[in-house]
């Protein structure tokens, strides 16, 4: 409280409030350690009383100070004013410094780790807290809520990973993590982020190395992600890094550039096979439809036939013959005795084009 009062009075000096604190009960002098002063200081920015005014116009505070330093006596009250002012200025700066470095506002997402003269003291929870001023207490605010991301490989790093069946895949993934324990995070490892990255690479490669290629680039994604996350957490807890691995996301698993055409061929083969099967299904449907149609037709005719077999049979015979014979050239030859002269049709036909051409 003492310092606060001092600060307030020093502020008053700085802003030249009315008659200054000296007129109003001499509040500030107690704190400055110059309580023995008589008469009280004057506001340095107001004009000194006429009678006390030194010769020469407008002597600056520095001039006055120099004069004092040279041992000029007799103008004591006026001479101590600038000195006092410097004293209060220093106090104000000090107070400001203390105010700035001992009041800490910690956001809900943060924790403040306080070290007192190097030694870990305590951790500040969200809200406004007071600590000792700066060189004594140091506060490092650590974000414990927001998810931090590491992309592996960042930029144009190595992306190829060996699978369990000794193939190679092109892999891109990211790690989401956050700080769980600020003290461990600060005091336990030199470069926690590098460690997290190394551990991620190690765990990911171990996971992929246990899987065949097809699983790694296909269905195994979720398994790998879960496995790597868990593995990383175990290792990092073993290191006491104080971080939580929130998620492992595989962004891309592909065959390497060099063999991607061969993989496309497999896809093409798959659709070729599907085409063959589809064609066969079409054929099957046609064949079955035909069979059912013909069988159905036969069944219907047969039902009628059963009712009057002989008549139906003869009717069908004549009707068919009628249709057939109406379409064909017919020659009736009384046999035996006459040898059919063949080819009759060719004989009959041959003149036709000839006559056609002659006309």
Q: Which of residues 270-289 bind another protein (CB under 8 A)?
A: 270, 272-277, 279-281, 283-285, 287-288
| Distance (Å) of CA 234 to CA 58, 145, 200 | 76, 21, 11
The answer to whether 236 touches 243, Cβ cutoff 8 Å, is yes
Closest separation between CB of residue 100 and another protein, Å? 21
Closest separation between CB of residue 50 and another protein, Å? 26
Task: Measure the CA–CA gap between 104 and 136, rounded to whole angstroms.
Answer: 14
Residues 338-357 that bind another protein (CB under 8 A): 340, 344-345
Nearer to another protein, 148 or 167 (CB): 167
| Helix 221-239 and helix 192-209, axial crossing angle in degrees, nearest 10 | 140
Closest separation between CB of residue 81 and another protein, Å? 12
Counting contacts by CB under 8 A, is residue 199 touching another protein?
yes
Counting contacts by CB under 8 A, is residue 245 touching another protein?
no
Nearer to another protein, 33 or 108 (CB): 33
Counting contacts by CB under 8 A, is residue 316 touching another protein?
yes
Nearer to another protein, 62 or 328 (CB): 328
| Residue 81 burial (10 A CB sphere; 0-12, 13-18, 19+) | buried
Counting contacts by CB under 8 A, is residue 224 touching another protein?
no
- Mark the segment that binds another protein (CB under 8 A) among 18-26, 46-54, 296-304, 351-359: 296-304
- Please identify which residue in 3, 16, 24, 116 interacts with another protein, judged by CB under 8 A: 116
Nearer to another protein, 143 or 183 (CB): 183
DSSP letter string, 279-312? HHHHHHHHHHHHHHHHHHHHHHHHHHHHHSHHHH
Q: What angle do CA 222, 226, 232 make, to 5 degrees?
A: 145
- Please identify which residue in 62, 324, 357, 358 interacts with another protein, judged by CB under 8 A: 324
Task: Measure the CA–CA gap between 157 and 358, rounded to whole angstroms.
Answer: 90
Sign of the C-alpha dihedral computed for residues 80, 86, 92 and 94 taken in this order? negative
Residue 266, token pair as written in the block: 């497999």
DSSP letter string, 191-251? -HHHHHHHHHHHHHHHHHHTS-HHHHHTTTHHHHHHHHHHHHHHHHHHHT--EEEEEEEEE
- Please identify which residue in 1, 266, 357, 358 interacts with another protein, judged by CB under 8 A: 266
CB atoms within 10 A of CB 138: 17
x-or-dash pattern for another protein, window 126-155, by CB under 8 A? ------------------------------
Residues 38-67 that bind another protein (CB under 8 A): none
- Please identify which residue in 66, 147, 259, 311 interacts with another protein, judged by CB under 8 A: 259
Q: How many CA atoms lie within 13 A of 235 on its CB side?
A: 19
Counting contacts by CB under 8 A, is residue 105 touching another protein?
no
Task: Measure the CA–CA gap between 124 and 117, rounded to whole angstroms.
Answer: 16
Nearer to another protein, 14 or 66 (CB): 66
- Mark the segment that binds another protein (CB under 8 A) among 15-23, 43-51, 143-151, 298-306: 298-306
- Please identify which residue in 5, 27, 53, 68 interacts with another protein, judged by CB under 8 A: 68
What residues contact 183, with CB distance under 8 A and at least 6 apart? 113, 120, 123, 242
Counting contacts by CB under 8 A, is residue 72 touching another protein?
no
Closest separation between CB of residue 228 and another protein, Å? 12
| Distance (Å) of CA 352 to CA 54, 331, 345, 355, 358 | 154, 19, 11, 5, 10
Residues 152-171 that bind another protein (CB under 8 A): 158, 160-162, 164, 166-168
Counting contacts by CB under 8 A, is residue 179 touching another protein?
no
């Amino acid at each position: 409280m003492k310092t606060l009062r001092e600060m307030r009075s020093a502020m008053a000096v700085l802003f030249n409030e009315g008659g200054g604190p000296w007129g109003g009960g001499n509040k500030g002098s107690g704190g400055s350690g110059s309580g023995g002063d008589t008469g009280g200081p004057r506001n340095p920015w107001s004009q000194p009383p006429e009678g006390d005014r030194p010769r020469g116009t407008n002597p600056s505070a520095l001039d006055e100070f120099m004069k004092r330093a040279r041992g000029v006596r007799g103008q004591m009250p006026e001479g101590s004013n600038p000195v006092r002012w410097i004293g209060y200025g220093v106090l104000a700066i000090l107070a400001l410094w203390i105010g700035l470095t001992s009041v800490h506002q910690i956001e809900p997402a943060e924790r403040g780790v306080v070290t007192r003269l190097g030694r870990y003291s305590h951790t500040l929870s969200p809200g406004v807290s007071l600590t000792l001023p700066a060189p004594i207490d140091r506060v490092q605010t650590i974000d414990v809520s927001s998810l931090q991301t590491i992309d592996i490989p960042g930029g144009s790093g190595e992306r190829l990973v060996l699978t369990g069946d000794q193939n190679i895949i092109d892999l891109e993934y990211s790690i989401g993590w956050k700080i769980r324990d600020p003290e461990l995070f600060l005091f336990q490892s030199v470069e926690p982020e590098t460690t997290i990255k190394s551990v991620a690479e190690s765990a990911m490669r171990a996971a992929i190395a246990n899987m065949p290629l097809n699983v790694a680039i296909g269905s195994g994604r979720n398994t790998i992600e879960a496995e790597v996350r868990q593995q990383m957490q175990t290792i990092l807890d073993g290191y006491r890094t104080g971080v939580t691995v929130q998620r492992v996301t595989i962004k891309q698993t592909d065959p390497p550039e060099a063999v991607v055409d061969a993989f496309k061929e497999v896809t093409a083969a798959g659709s070729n096979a599907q085409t063959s099967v589809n064609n066969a299904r079409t054929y099957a449907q046609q064949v079955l439809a035909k069979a059912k149609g013909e069988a159905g037709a036969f069944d219907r005719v047969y039902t009628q036939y059963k009712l009057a077999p002989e008549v139906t049979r003869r009717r069908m015979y004549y009707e068919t013959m009628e249709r057939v014979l109406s379409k064909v050239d017919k020659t009736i030859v009384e046999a035996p005795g006459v040898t059919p002269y063949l080819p009759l049709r060719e004989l009959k036909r041959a003149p036709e084009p000839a006559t056609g051409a002659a006309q």
